[in-house]
Amino acid sequence: MKAFLAGAAVILFVLLIGSEPQSHSAENQKTPADKTTSITNQVNSIQESANVAEKKYEETKINRWLMYFTAALAVVAVLQLVTFIYQVG
C-alpha cells in the first residue's frame, strides 16, 4: 500500500510540474556559470526589447507630428489656392 501511495505521489508530482524527471547525467545538468549566463542573456534581451519598444514609440510619435504638420501645410495650400482664384476672378 505504501509503494502504491508513493508511486501515486510521484505521478501526481510529475503531472503538477508538467515535465518528466530529468536524468542526472553530466550532459543534462547546467553549471552555475551556464545558469548565470542564461539569466544575463535573458536580462539583456529584455532590456533590448524595452529599448526597441521605446525607439518605436518615439518614431511613431515623430511620424504623427509630421503627419499633423503636413496636413496643416496642405490646408494652408488649399486656402492660398482659393484666395488666388478669388483674386483672379
Find the domain containing 68 and state its range.
57-89
Model confidence pLDDT, tens digit, residues 43-71:
778 888 888 888 888 889 999 999 999 99
Residue 86 lies inside a defined structural domain of this protein: yes
Mean pLDDT value across residues 25-43: 63
Q: How many distinct structural domains can be found in the chain?
A: 1
Of the chain, the percentage scoring pLDDT greater than 90 comes to 30
The model's pTM is: 0.44
- For the CA atoms of the chain, what is the radius of gyration? 33
Mean pLDDT value across residues 29-52: 73
DSSP structure string for 27-88: TTPPPHHHHHHHHHHHHHHHHHHHHHHHHHHHHHHHHHHHHHHHHHHHHHHHHHHHHHHHHH
Q: Residue 45's pLDDT is what?
A: 82
Residue 88 above 60 pLDDT?
A: yes
Residue 70 lies inside a defined structural domain of this protein: yes
Residue 82 lies inside a defined structural domain of this protein: yes
Grid cell at residue 64: 504623427
8 A C-beta contact, residue 12 and residue 4: no
